[in-house]
Structure 1
């Protein structure tokens, strides 16, 4: 029995390390993407859009990123930054499941559902 407890503790330490790494990589990646958009904006002096228009839908952001429009690239970096903690919640659900902590699995799953509903509301604007 002590071997199983030791293995679980080792695995949980690995999961915590993964969670920390996800947050670090997510923030650094988002900063790099936003920095690329900022450099393009400063180099061209143009957002890539007419007037005060900014891309708000994921389709417009991806299309604008493909076309190297500065605001679209910066918005993609912002979305990546927003999705970083969502990914952390998903990994936490797995960690709590491995610990057999059903209460925290349920709570964290509820948090994930709330986050997804909020993201959908934000994307659809309704």
Structure 2
């Protein structure tokens, strides 16, 4: 196998403009693409410099908003990110100390759930 990483993850949203505002203004992602392709709007965002991006797909495209779960976003400063997100009005729980590391959970306006996590010691050495 020659798979190196996930390129794009689809995040189902009810309102692409509202989602774009949250991912760009609250999470600090950048817009990689925002274009109409026939009846479909292709809206793609990502953290700066990331290899993996997120497509914010609407219900009109056949996706059920709020169904994404278990997507892990790695951060180099969990405490600062949690504080900044809470100050911006995002629904954040944690950070918590867990047997596998420190993490917090974050929910977007549609109820899609993310985990903010610091690298584990084994990942830091890799």
Give the alignment's TM-score, normalised by structure 1. 0.24
**Which one has a larger percent strand, Structure 1 or Structure 2?**
2
Give the alignment's TM-score, normalised by structure 2. 0.24
If asked which structure has higher relative contact order (CA below 8 Å, sep 6+), I would say 1
**Which one has a larger percent helix, Structure 1 or Structure 2?**
1
* Rg larger for: 1
